Structure 1
Amino acid sequence: MKRLKKSLVAVMVTGLLASCAKQNDTVEVEKSGLDIWPTINSEVKKDPEIERNVAELLAKMTLEQKVAQMIQPEIRDITVEDMRRYGFGSYLNGGGAFPNNNKHSSVKDWVDLAEAMYQASVDDSLDGINIPTMWGTDAVHGHNNVIGATLFPHNIGLGAANNPDLIVKIAEVTAKEVMATGIDWVFAPTVATVRDDRWGRTYEGYSEDPEIVKEYAAAIVHGLQGTQGDNFLGDDRVISTVKHFVGDGGTVKGDDQGNNIDSELDLFNIHSQGYVGGLTAGAQSVMASFNSWNGEKIHGNKYLLTDVLKDKMGFDGFVVGDWNGHGQIKGCSNHDCPQAVNAGLDVYMVPTDAWKPLMENTIKQVRAGVIPMSRIDDAVTRILRVKFRAGLFDKASPANRPYANKTDLIGHAEHREVAKQAVRESLVLLKNNDNLLPLSPKQNILIAGDAANNIGKQSGGWTITWQGTNNENADFPGGSSIYDGLAEQIKAAGGKVTLSEDGSFENKPDVAIVVFGEEPYAEGHGDKENLVYQQGDKRDLALLQKLKAQGIPVISVFISGRPLWVNPELNSSDAFVAAWLPGSEGDAVADVLLTDKAGKVQNDFKGKLSFSWPSHPSKPVNRFDADYAPLLPYGFGLQYGDKSVLSNNLSEKVELDNGADANSYVFKGKTFAPWQMRLFSGANNQAVMSSSIALKGLEYRTIDKHIQEDAFKLVWTGLENAGMEFVSKSWFREDLSMMQASNAALVIELMRDGLAEQPVIISSHCESEGDKPGSCRAQVDITEQLNRLPDTQWQNLSIDLNCFAKQGLKYSQVIMPFAISTSGKANLSISDIHFAPEQGQSASIQCE
């Protein structure tokens, strides 16, 4: 019935008569729905020899071997011996996962792991078969998991550049750097058409309009894979993945993994054009999307995965799931989901320890007839077809391929030049009063803002770590900050440059360039209720206004993963540049902002908005809307000499949401600014920079509660007093006095596994000038209340803030709002730490 309703929508939109919906015309209505979708004429044709090889190999395989081809575990959850025993068809490294759990793993470390897994997969001594495995990785703006790699602007910036030829070059560079580490397969490109910029993955989309998306999808697939007859999937090419099928950019309110309620016609016209482009170019894999379409999860939607994608569009590669996405299907879990494979999923992406029970359950379900053997054979045929096309049966092992271990390819100078071109072409000039730009480098120029000399911030999410957080400039060898490029050119021209994050100076500058913007984030954590920039905490606006009040012309360089409502910041800027997330080559920004020594323009602005700039903080605006009223339209972008069109008195009025203040959160699936997570054991104190860390007496690891890595587990072994804490950036004092004034409680959502053997302590720490050492600390023993909670169930435990205040904690000067520690054995998982106003008197722990 649901499919009939979708088809009827398509029928009405296409102008067919309502009489077609009569009962005896039901079959015709079904055809009308599928008629929306084209049959793709892929550039990659079936090869009879490959098809024979696949059929012959398939006939030799046992059920266990076939199902193993469909299982994709994560490197943190399997060993080389697991690969030897089961012969998984593929494996992946998730964001923030590295060989040996080492963020700074060398190229050799990556290749060594690839070689070990490969050799184990072709060793038939245990599993009886020698099918080479594949390693998949999220190389979404360059080989972004690897230290020193060339990092390109995120897709939103590339959309502004609108240069398909450049996209091919970027993809070719990415493929080479990936091949240098022995990896075969990348989970790119993202071809979402983003319709609500509140979505935290907006920057992964090229545009709000499918026009650019379709062309770019073909370009990046060509660059990654090559073209048939031109080194297709050769030694310098990798398997590509168009993702996420389908509709992820159109969920209600931009909710990540939410519900897309578009008609079937809009699902095709708006959200599927990237697949038309990518599949025509020969993409060999498609990743299913987390989102739902009209309430049905895509991972379990047979109509879309099989009837549309495979049967009607003719896709003959394989469909891979997203991170335990099958577990979100109604009636499924991460361990058990026949619905997904029956719907058309070919490869389960199954990180964590769920891979083994899922594999065992799938085998049982085939034997019981729950999953038809024909569906298993189809899935494995598709997987083997791609492996033969990629030459994996004929290529040398990862360590012996032509590009393997070529460390000079990682961040090669020629690769960085391509990235610099992308940076220059992606910048969009939104405002330029009195033609303030370009600047002569011979002036006295102040460089301010916390993003000016911060390569991690300018690179955004999916940068070394999953969320792009906890990175320092030293993590980007060969890269450059925006300040680096400006300073080099200004000094070379005889000008004066001062770097001052807070905008202070000794000698008044001629002009100030302020670089500021969003903190890095990735999927699940970047969603916003509205598009107001720095709502409730206008630090960057205060900096702009301070400089303006001193009579200093201000140029704003805005770092962001989406257009944001920045009317106050625009009003306080004489010039405003949308720099998006430029990646590792920040120095190229100077090539556009500054003239040469002779005063000539080096590079004019080329970037044009591929996303409309919002005039309202919570109303989505997209090209061709019936009531289209953006602040700046799709395609806008000034060049030098153009007259600014923006008023200097834009409305700054905005109605703030009545929901919970985000500043009350310490942790909720992610660490909230300004806090940083650290682990301690005895005298050892270590920042959390990866997804798993082991100290003496304590083991830490991220886990999944609702979405990928939205919680963490702490396991105390009793060998040392140890724990976890959240501290302010640079240990600056933070004012949380409003929380105390609102009679708040500290709320922790946690789950224990077993009783705590020794006292479990929650503590907080502040610092005030003149305080005696240790006098501004407080702690609460939660052991009794903790051990009363039901085992292995998520529960809230809350503490009245007066418990800390009565011990001398000054909430106006907090450095560490939360720490948890014990010297005994304990096992706790935590997903949420926040302050809840008006809940102090009802907290589970009171202090008289």
Structure 2
Amino acid sequence: MTRFTKICSLMLFGSVSLMAQSKKAVVASASPLDKKVDALIAGMTLEEKVGQMTEVTLDVVSKTGAPTHQLDVFKLKEAIEKYHVGSILNVSGTAYTREHWHDVIVSIQAEAAKDRLKIPVIYGIDAIHGVTYTVGSTLFPHEIAMAATFNKDLAYKAGEITAYETRASYIPWNYSPVLDLGKNALWPRIYETFGEDPYVVKTMGASIIKGYQGNDIGDKYHVAACMKHYLGYSAPLSGKDRTPAWIPDRYMREYFLPSFAEAVKAGAKTLMINSGEINGIPVHSSKYLLTDVLRGELKFDGIAVTDWRDIQYLYTRHHVASSQKEAVMIAVNAGVDMSMVPYEYTFFDYLVQLVHEGKVPMWRVNQAVHRILKVKYELGLFDRPVGNPDDYPKFGSEEFRASSVQAAREAITLLKNNNNVLPLKKGVRVLVTGPTANTMRSLNGGWSYTWQGDVSDKFAADKNTILEAIQKKVGNDNVTYQEGSKFDTLTNVEETIKAAKKSDVIVLCLGELSYTENVGNIDDLNLPDAQIQLATELAKTGKPVILVLAEGRPRIMTKADNLSAATVMTYLSGNEGGDALADILFGDVNPSGRLPITYPRYANALVNYYRKNLENGNSDDSHGYNPLYEFGYGLSYTTFRYGNVHLNNPDLKDGQTLKISVDVTNSGQREGKESVLLFISQLYASVSPDTKRLRGFDKISLKPGETKTVSFNITPADLAFINDESKSVTEPGEFKIQLGDQTQSFNYVSAKPVAARTGKL
């Protein structure tokens, strides 16, 4: 049994250990803001405090059966004046106009102002790739595509614009970013992550958080970020959403925890908890993770909110509580501050009872309420509960759209380009076909206008599908369209083949329809047979096939890739993804995306790039590490040459910084952007080392013949790993650097014994 399992098991019923603690309030009252919050709490009733910890969905205070969304004034009055609800979330139905959002938020905050203490409601929304529930907003590529840009500045800019447009929708709290590690290719939420690499996830995550929050979340242009889903949500053993994960403590700390640690350092104000369970322990019940690690080690002092109904699920799904009331006791004592209930008031009723019974201490309630009220003050909600509509002239502007276009252009990844078939000449006759060719759902994915993104074709009707973007680029006369197949069924194959024979080139668009969470669960990572069959039939025509993949996870398409002349990965590149793809196909933009995931060759060969040496195979093993495309892979229409790798010292010592530099030259004929990826391998260690790990990246633009020097600074802490005692250590030894096709070695030399250099993350 691992240390993680042992401790989580001991802490399952966190109330036991918590009740033994001193009943004094844990929150220090050093700052003027803390004192203001404590003064407010001192005048609150128990019911008012528990109300602040209660979050309900908008449906609870809305009319049922109305053709368009309307608030129910009686339900709203009950929520605020009887239950003192502190937070409301979500959207009822589909995306709203800014005007309707204004009416909703004004009504909610006006009702809050009638309550005794006039505490404003904090409204939350999943604005995870732009303001997904506001009509006319700027939708960016999903996080997996943003990761493919390897451009920290783009992540920051996307966060900044999203925050502006979220505040323009009068909402101050954004349930983003997803900081889960996208390790399991089957998982239906992998497209919401920044990919499989811990360094990319933590770096891009911190950048977008800084964009969301700015220097002051209380100004009218920034929001409170919510890092999610803490912790280990993205590695279910089955690949299905919200199913059990098995993650040893050492492994958890090595790969899954760093992104959250970095987010705390970046100042993230709130956190959402993993809905699943790890080693049999639901995270919502784990004092070890929610208090000992999150508060004790990471020093996070913001709001920890549950995910959808997850306290109730401790009873109905996980079966670690024998009743809903016991579930509330376990979760709050473990460290939950706010319950996304979300449909009724059982959490409120049970928590009031539990405090009266002494099963949840008042100091724990005060602690949670302090965190909630402090964020409300920091957001400026007490002074400005509703924004001014005139303060947001850039909402949905061309300036913001241009940033989304740039992100999509830098994300799209060229994986294959035999004989330089791309870029295409604009005079060629093109057949566009396949199930993802003419729908915005396959560009926007889930969380777009609705939870499942199933109305993107309606709300993004003014945007261009892949087909429409190609028609716009080269003219309708040069473009023919045939569906060829739906996502899992062949349709008009004969007509499609006839059209292919009359064309010069075939743009075959395969992939997935929009989905998220459990709706996106699959039993087979292979693309449906119909799509592969369509590719096979089109290849028989002898015309070059440009395979375009619009998908949220790496579906197995090896047979189709073997038949293509070129393969392009668009991920879920957002509202501007069609135009960005057309720009790349026809050479107006040089592709620069790199895979932020390993693209598997076979359905059961799902190994991440930072594999162990045992997974590499050997000369007698044909089943070792052999992905279709490796993490970090991506082609360009130009070429880049690496050289002159330089280290300022052959040895790295304690307290020193190793400066690593490399010259990168554009050796081709076109201007292009290059993501420079620094991999470092430790050759020998007390824990089996990863084959290689990304320790730095930078993106540069080079004109033909131009050379730039890219530098990285590495400290001993950057080379650390988690040992078998769950401690972060850097062990002396030889390390190998890889930059492009260049390698170099150095030694880490320490005068200290290993034991003296250990310490918690």
Q: Same fold (TM over 0.5)?
A: yes
Pick closer, same or farther for the CA change 1:556–1:250 going to 2, 3 Å.
same
What letter corresponds to residue 220 of structure 1 in structure 2? I
- The alignment status of 1:165 with 2:150, answered yes or no, reads no
Aligned to 1:654: none
- Cα deviation, residue 253, structure 1: 2.7
- Cα deviation, residue 315, structure 1: 0.8
Higher RCO (C-alpha 8 Å, min separation 6): 2
Question: Sequence identity of aligned pairs in percent?
Answer: 32
For residues 358-412 of structure 1, the C-alpha deviation after alignment (integer angstroms, 9 at most, x for no partner) is: 21111011011010001000000111111111111122x3153654xx5x64432
1:554 is aligned, of 542, 545, 553, to 545
2:40 is aligned, of 57, 76, 91, to 57
What letter corresponds to residue 321 of structure 2 in structure 1? G
- The alignment status of 1:532 with 2:523, answered yes or no, reads no
What letter corresponds to residue 144 of structure 1 in structure 2? T
**Unmatched segments (≥5 aa) in structure 2:** 11-27, 62-74, 315-319, 485-495, 617-624, 641-761
Pick closer, same or farther for the CA change 1:140–1:552 going to 2, 3 Å.
same
> What CA distance in whole angstroms lies between the structure 1 residues aligned with 2:524 and 2:435?
23
2:478 is aligned, of 478, 484, 496, to 496
> What CA distance in whole angstroms lies between the structure 2 residues aligned with 1:577 and 1:616?
19
- Cα deviation, residue 302, structure 1: 0.5
> What CA distance in whole angstroms lies between the structure 1 residues aligned with 2:603 and 2:563?
18
> What CA distance in whole angstroms lies between the structure 2 residues aligned with 1:509 and 1:47?
73
Aligned to 1:456: 441
Aligned to 2:195: 207
- Cα deviation, residue 567, structure 1: 1.1
- For the residue of structure 1 that corresponds to 2:262, the secondary structure is helix
Pick closer, same or farther for the CA change 1:472–1:444 going to 2, 3 Å.
same
CA contact under 8 A between 1:83 and 1:121: conserved in structure 2? no
- The alignment status of 1:475 with 2:459, answered yes or no, reads yes
What letter corresponds to residue 438 of structure 2 in structure 1? N
* 1:772-811 pair list within 5 angstroms: none
- For the residue of structure 1 that corresponds to 2:414, the secondary structure is strand
**Unmatched segments (≥5 aa) in structure 1:** 10-25, 27-44, 596-600, 644-848
Aligned to 1:618: 604
Aligned to 1:224: 212
CA contact under 8 A between 2:95 and 2:449: conserved in structure 1? no
Pick closer, same or farther for the CA change 1:410–1:455 going to 2, 3 Å.
farther
Aligned to 2:250: 265
- The alignment status of 1:249 with 2:249, answered yes or no, reads no
> What CA distance in whole angstroms lies between the structure 1 residues aligned with 2:386 and 2:570?
37
- The alignment status of 1:274 with 2:270, answered yes or no, reads no
What letter corresponds to residue 60 of structure 1 in structure 2? G
> What CA distance in whole angstroms lies between the structure 1 residues aligned with 2:357 and 2:595?
55
For residues 457-482 of structure 1, the C-alpha deviation after alignment (integer angstroms, 9 at most, x for no partner) is: 2211111121222x252321542212
- Cα deviation, residue 528, structure 1: 2.5
What letter corresponds to residue 479 of structure 1 in structure 2? K
Aligned to 1:651: none
For residues 166-203 of structure 1, the C-alpha deviation after alignment (integer angstroms, 9 at most, x for no partner) is: 00110111111111111110100000012211111111
- Cα deviation, residue 110, structure 1: 1.2
CA contact under 8 A between 2:600 and 2:606: conserved in structure 1? yes
Pick closer, same or farther for the CA change 1:280–1:47 going to 2, 3 Å.
farther
RMSD of aligned Cα (Å): 2.4
- The alignment status of 1:134 with 2:117, answered yes or no, reads no
> What CA distance in whole angstroms lies between the structure 2 residues aligned with 1:383 and 1:5?
31
- Cα deviation, residue 510, structure 1: 0.8
Aligned to 1:422: 407
For residues 703-724 of structure 1, the C-alpha deviation after alignment (integer angstroms, 9 at most, x for no partner) is: xxxxxxxxxxxxxxxxxxxxxx
Aligned to 2:111: 120
> What CA distance in whole angstroms lies between the structure 2 residues aligned with 1:442 and 1:455?
26
- Cα deviation, residue 433, structure 1: 1.3
> What CA distance in whole angstroms lies between the structure 1 residues aligned with 2:267 and 2:390?
24
Pick closer, same or farther for the CA change 1:350–1:333 going to 2, 3 Å.
farther
- Cα deviation, residue 289, structure 1: 0.6
Aligned to 1:668: none
- Cα deviation, residue 130, structure 1: 0.8
> What CA distance in whole angstroms lies between the structure 2 residues aligned with 1:481 and 1:389?
41
What letter corresponds to residue 468 of structure 1 in structure 2? G
- For the residue of structure 2 that corresponds to 1:266, the secondary structure is helix
- For the residue of structure 2 that corresponds to 1:76, the secondary structure is helix
2:306 is aligned, of 307, 321, 325, to 321
- Cα deviation, residue 587, structure 1: 3.3
- Cα deviation, residue 147, structure 1: 2.7
> What CA distance in whole angstroms lies between the structure 2 residues aligned with 1:236 and 1:77?
28
* More off after superposition, 53-62 vs 332-341: 332-341
> What CA distance in whole angstroms lies between the structure 2 residues aligned with 1:6 and 1:429?
46
Aligned to 1:648: none
What letter corresponds to residue 70 of structure 1 in structure 2? M
- Cα deviation, residue 332, structure 1: 5.7
Pick closer, same or farther for the CA change 1:323–1:116 going to 2, 3 Å.
same
CA contact under 8 A between 2:527 and 2:555: conserved in structure 1? yes
What letter corresponds to residue 80 of structure 1 in structure 2? L
Pick closer, same or farther for the CA change 1:4–1:594 going to 2, 3 Å.
closer
What letter corresponds to residue 618 of structure 1 in structure 2? N
- Cα deviation, residue 216, structure 1: 1.1
CA contact under 8 A between 1:609 and 1:633: conserved in structure 2? yes
- Cα deviation, residue 526, structure 1: 1.7
- For the residue of structure 2 that corresponds to 1:418, the secondary structure is helix
2:559 is aligned, of 568, 591, 596, to 568
> What CA distance in whole angstroms lies between the structure 2 residues aligned with 1:505 and 1:514?
15
What letter corresponds to residue 62 of structure 1 in structure 2? T
CA contact under 8 A between 2:532 and 2:557: conserved in structure 1? no
Aligned to 2:728: none
> What CA distance in whole angstroms lies between the structure 1 residues aligned with 2:378 and 2:30?
9
Aligned to 1:466: 451
> What CA distance in whole angstroms lies between the structure 1 residues aligned with 2:533 and 2:611?
35
- For the residue of structure 2 that corresponds to 1:216, the secondary structure is helix
Aligned to 1:177: 165
For residues 225-257 of structure 1, the C-alpha deviation after alignment (integer angstroms, 9 at most, x for no partner) is: 112xxx443100111100000011222132322
- Cα deviation, residue 119, structure 1: 1.2
Aligned to 1:637: 634
- For the residue of structure 2 that corresponds to 1:50, the secondary structure is helix
Aligned to 1:798: none
- Cα deviation, residue 6, structure 1: 5.0
> What CA distance in whole angstroms lies between the structure 1 residues aligned with 2:211 and 2:201?
15
2:396 is aligned, of 401, 411, 427, to 411
What letter corresponds to residue 122 of structure 1 in structure 2? A
- Figure out how many residues of one structure are paired with residues of the other and give that number: 580
Q: TM-score, normalised by structure 1?
A: 0.66
CA contact under 8 A between 1:121 and 1:130: conserved in structure 2? yes
Pick closer, same or farther for the CA change 1:260–1:104 going to 2, 3 Å.
closer
- For the residue of structure 2 that corresponds to 1:73, the secondary structure is strand
- Cα deviation, residue 505, structure 1: 5.5
Pick closer, same or farther for the CA change 1:47–1:575 going to 2, 3 Å.
farther
> What CA distance in whole angstroms lies between the structure 2 residues aligned with 1:393 and 1:244?
28
CA contact under 8 A between 2:558 and 2:602: conserved in structure 1? no
CA contact under 8 A between 2:466 and 2:582: conserved in structure 1? no
For residues 420-462 of structure 1, the C-alpha deviation after alignment (integer angstroms, 9 at most, x for no partner) is: 1111111111111111111111111111122212112221111
Aligned to 2:352: 363
CA contact under 8 A between 1:541 and 1:572: conserved in structure 2? no
What letter corresponds to residue 414 of structure 1 in structure 2? E
Aligned to 1:81: 77
> What CA distance in whole angstroms lies between the structure 2 residues aligned with 1:61 and 1:344?
21
- Cα deviation, residue 499, structure 1: 2.3
- Cα deviation, residue 603, structure 1: 1.8
For residues 502-525 of structure 1, the C-alpha deviation after alignment (integer angstroms, 9 at most, x for no partner) is: 236567111111112111110112
Pick closer, same or farther for the CA change 1:2–1:621 going to 2, 3 Å.
closer
- Cα deviation, residue 270, structure 1: 0.5
Q: TM-score, normalised by structure 2?
A: 0.73
For residues 76-114 of structure 1, the C-alpha deviation after alignment (integer angstroms, 9 at most, x for no partner) is: 012321243132111101xxx33xx4x253221111111
